[in-house]
Amino acid sequence: MLLLFCSLLLNRRGLLLPLLLLLLAQASLAQSLRVQLRDSLRHEPLIGASVVVPGTGLGAATDASGTAVLAPAPAAGTRLRITALGFRPRFVAAPAVGQGLTLLLAPGGVEIQEEVLVTATRTNSRIEDLPTRVEVLGAEEMEEESSIKPASIASLFGDIAGTQIQPTSPTTGNLDLRLQGLPGQYTQILRDGVPLYGGFAGSFGLLTVPPLDLRQVELIKGSNSTLYGGGAIAGLVNLVSKTPVRDAPQYAASFNQTSLRETDLNGFVARRGRRWGFSTYAGLVKQKEKDIDGDGFVDVPRVGNINLHPRLFFYPNAHSQLALGYTGTLESRRAGDAQVLKTGFDRVGGHTFYIDNVSWRNTGDLLYTNDSLAGGHLTLKATLTDFVRDVSTNSDAFTAYQTTYYTEASYLHAAGPHHTLVLGLNCNGEQLASFNKSAPRCAALTPTARWARSCRTTGACCLA
C-alpha cells in the first residue's frame, strides 16, 4: 500500500517521467566515451572526423565542436582508430569508463588538392588565411617545369607580376631574381625555411635547383625583414622540398635532350615506414657551347652540373620528426670566344677571350619539428654551408671561399581563435676569404691541355 501511495503521489505531481528520463541520461553518459579532436597547428575543432573501434560496428563522427560520443563506451585499453580527411590517422587506447579523450591530429594523410599550407610566414597557415599576399607554385607547376626546363626553376618566375629574371652575366648565363624592382641581393632565397645559398643566392641559387626535387615554391613580395633579416627587403622565395609519405613510395625519373645540345638526367625516390623514411634526388646536366648568331662568341655557355640531395627522416611519434640532409652542387660554366673553347688559346690569331666560372657548394642541414609541445609547434633548424667559387678570364682571376652557418629555434602557439603567437631566436654568421690575382699568360701552353689549372700554385686559372 505504501508503494502504491508513492506512485500515485509522483504521478499526481508530474515528477515521475522527468525523474526517469534524468536517471536514464545519467546512466547513458556514464557508459559513453567522449572524444574531442583538434587541429595540431591551429587548435581548431575537427568536424566530420571518424572515431571507430576496428572490427566492430561501434563508431561516431565529430560534430561542430569536434566531439564524438561512443555509446556504449568501449572497455579500457580497446584500440580506437581516428581518421580525418587531410590529417594523419591515429590509433589510441580507450581510457577507463567515465574518462574522456582530447587529441590533436597532425596535417598529412590524404592530400587535399584545394588546401595549400604556407611555411614561409612562420605560421604554417592556409593560404586563404594569410593577411599578406603569397604566390604559391604547387606540384602541378613543378611537374610542368620538369618537362620544360628540368635543370632549374628560373623560368618559373617569368610570368609572375612584380618579378623579373635579369641576366647578370650574359656570357656565362647567370641570372638574378629581382622583386619589386630591387636588385637581387635584397631578395632572400630559402630552402625549407633556411637560407642555404648565402651571399651568392641571387646569381646561383635558382640555376642549381631542379623542379623535380620540389613540392612547391612560395613567393612573398614586399619587405619581410622582421622575420628573415635585412636580406628580405624586396621579398623572399621559399623552396619547399618533397618529403616521403607513409605507405606511398615515390619514384620519378626524367631524361631531356634539347636542340641547343643540352642533356638533362634527373631521378627522385622517396619512401617512408613507421619510424624511418628517406628521399634522394640526383641530377646531371651537360650543356655544350653554341654560337647561335655566328659572331664568333658563345651565346649558350658550356655547362656541367652535378646535383645531389639525400635526406634521412626519423619519426619518434605521430607529432614530431627529425630530418638530416645534405645538398651538394658542383657546377662549371665556360664561355667566351668560340675558337678558344674549341681549339685553345690563340694569341697570334687574336682569340684570347674566355670566362671560366666554377662553383662547388656543400651543405648539411638538420630539422626537428614537434607540433604538439605544450599545445604549440616547436621548430629547430641548423645548417652549415661551405661554398667555393673560382672565376678566371684571360686577364684576371678570382677565388673565394665562403663558410656560412645558421641556427634557428621558433615556437608557434595559438593565442585565441584569431591570433597566433610566434617566438624565435636565431644565430648565424659567415666567413669569407678571397684571392685576386692576375691570370698567367697562356700563349706558351700547348692546345692539347684544353683546360690547364694552376690555381693551387698561382691563385689563378688558365685556359690552354
Q: What is the DSSP secondary-structure string of 297-345?
A: B-SB-EEEEEEEEEEEEEEEETTEEEEEEEEEEEEEEEEEBHHHHHH--
Whole-model pTM? 0.68
> Could you tell me the CA-to-CA distances from 252 to 211, 231, 242, 266 in Å, in that order?
12, 34, 12, 8
**Of 373, 377, 374, 371, which is closest to residue 411 (Cα–Cα)?**
377
Please give the Cα distance from 118 to 135 (Å, whole number). 10
Please give the Cα distance from 446 to 344 (Å, whole number). 8
CB 165 within 8 A of CB 203: no
For 344, half-sphere exposure in the C-beta direction (CA atoms, 13 angstrom radius) is 14
Per residue in 1-23, pLDDT (tens digit) is 433 434 443 444 445 555 544 54
Residue 25: its pLDDT value, please? 47
Domains of the chain: 35-107 (2.60.40.4130), 117-463 (2.170.130.10)
One pLDDT digit (tens) per residue for the chain, 464 residues = 433 434 443 444 445 555 544 544 454 445 788 999 988 877 888 988 999 888 777 888 898 888 999 888 888 888 898 988 888 888 888 888 778 888 888 887 444 444 555 665 666 666 566 666 778 888 888 888 888 888 888 778 777 777 888 877 777 777 778 888 888 778 888 888 887 665 554 455 566 788 999 998 888 888 776 677 667 788 888 889 999 998 889 999 999 998 888 999 999 999 999 899 999 999 999 999 999 888 989 989 999 999 999 999 999 998 899 999 999 999 999 999 998 888 887 888 888 898 888 888 899 999 999 988 888 889 999 999 998 888 888 888 888 888 989 899 999 888 877 788 889 898 988 888 877 654 444 433 333 333 333 333 333 344 33
| CB < 8 Å & 24+ apart, contacts of 325-328 | 325/364, 325/365, 325/366, 325/367, 326/362, 326/363, 326/364, 326/365, 327/191, 327/196, 327/361, 327/362, 327/363, 327/365, 328/361, 328/362, 328/363
**Residue 441 DSSP label:** P
Per residue in 231-249, pLDDT (tens digit) is 778 888 888 999 999 888 9
Would you state the cell numbers that stand for residue 239, as one nine-digit string?
623552396
CB 405 within 8 A of CB 428: yes
Would you state the cell numbers that stand for residue 152, as one nine-digit string?
632549374
Residue 376: its pLDDT value, please? 87
At residue 167, what is the residue type?
P
Residue 117: its pLDDT value, please? 59
At residue 19, what is the residue type?
L
At residue 254, what is the residue type?
S
